[in-house]
Amino acid sequence: MSLAGKTAIVTGAASGIGLAAAQRLAKDGANVAIWDINEDAAKAAADDLVKQGFKAIASRVDVSKRVEIDAAVKLIHEKFGPVSILVNNAGISAFTPFMQITEEQWDRIMQVNLKSVLICTQAVLPDMLEAKWGRIINVSSSSAQTGAQTMVHYSASKGGVIAFTKSLAQELAPTGITVNNVPPGFVDTPMMRAGLGEKVDHIIAASPMKRAGRPEDMAGAIAFLASEDAGYITGHTLSVNGGRYSN
């Protein structure tokens, strides 16, 4: 699945699923822009790819702020040219009983998890429309498919990502641009470990496959949806969850 000549943005790509996706897309031939709010980690990830002979750059980006997104896109244009693949992966999670969710918590999760998908996509869509080719892959969550206790705000934001995907896919279907989403199950990442702590082992034991997902499992699905092989797939939810949820 060669992506030679394509340029990809992966948000939240300094660790976890985003990092694995950036590494996979680079290995498939794409120029990769690593965006993350953790600038040092983003630069380290890009430097590692460059040392391996791939083309990568890093930018510190708060994906809830349009001005930072626009500046990072300008840098990509200068270094690599037009953007052809966007992986909207950046996100935050929280575990809060419903009656304890504050408006500030709700707004921040919606800004990072859902608003960012809007403004990142708007920033690169002109490139894709001009090329008559593009791939937009949104990382949602199986929590939006099943529901999750103490995660109403998080699940609602990721449910919005799924609805965003379906709606934009229909709007862009005639243009050569596909829009799909991948909801992870329990993927062994620093964010999951930080959020679930000692519950992780119990959740893994209760899962159908008896193992957590790996970031590479998600990266494989993302790379497929970014490829020419997935050109007739749009508006799709490709669940990668080890059997946690079937649709």
Distance, in Å, from the CA atom of 27 to the CA atom of 169, rounded to the nearest integer, reads 27
Distance, in Å, from the CA atom of 143 to the CA atom of 156, rounded to the nearest integer, reads 9
- Residue range 1-59, pLDDT digits in tens: 689 999 999 999 999 999 999 999 999 999 999 999 999 999 999 999 999 999 999 99
Alpha helix locations (H) across the chain? 16-27, 39-51, 66-79, 103-110, 116-131, 142-146, 152-172, 190-196, 199-206, 215-226
Hey, what are 3's tokens?
Answer: 């992506």
Quick one: which of 189, 233, 184, 179 has its CA closest to 207? Answer: 184
Q: Can you tell me the mean pLDDT for 193-219?
A: 73
Mean pLDDT taken over the chain: 93
Give the angle subtended at the CA of 247 by the CAs of 187 and 155, to the nearest 5°: 55
Distance, in Å, from the CA atom of 78 to the CA atom of 162, rounded to the nearest integer, reads 32
What ranges do the domains of the chain cover?
A: 7-230
For this structure, is 245 an active site residue?
no
Look at residue 201 and tell me whether its pLDDT is greater than 90.
no
Q: Is the pTM of this model over 0.85?
A: yes
If pLDDT is split at 50, 70 and 90, which confidence band does 212 have?
confident
Quick one: which of 16, 22, 34, 17 has its CA closest to 182? Answer: 17
Which CATH class name applies to 7-230?
Answer: alpha beta
Look at residue 141 and tell me whether its pLDDT is greater than 80.
yes
Per-residue model confidence (pLDDT) at position 206: 67
Q: Looking at 35, 54, 154, 186, which residue is catalytic?
A: 154
Per-residue model confidence (pLDDT) at position 41: 98
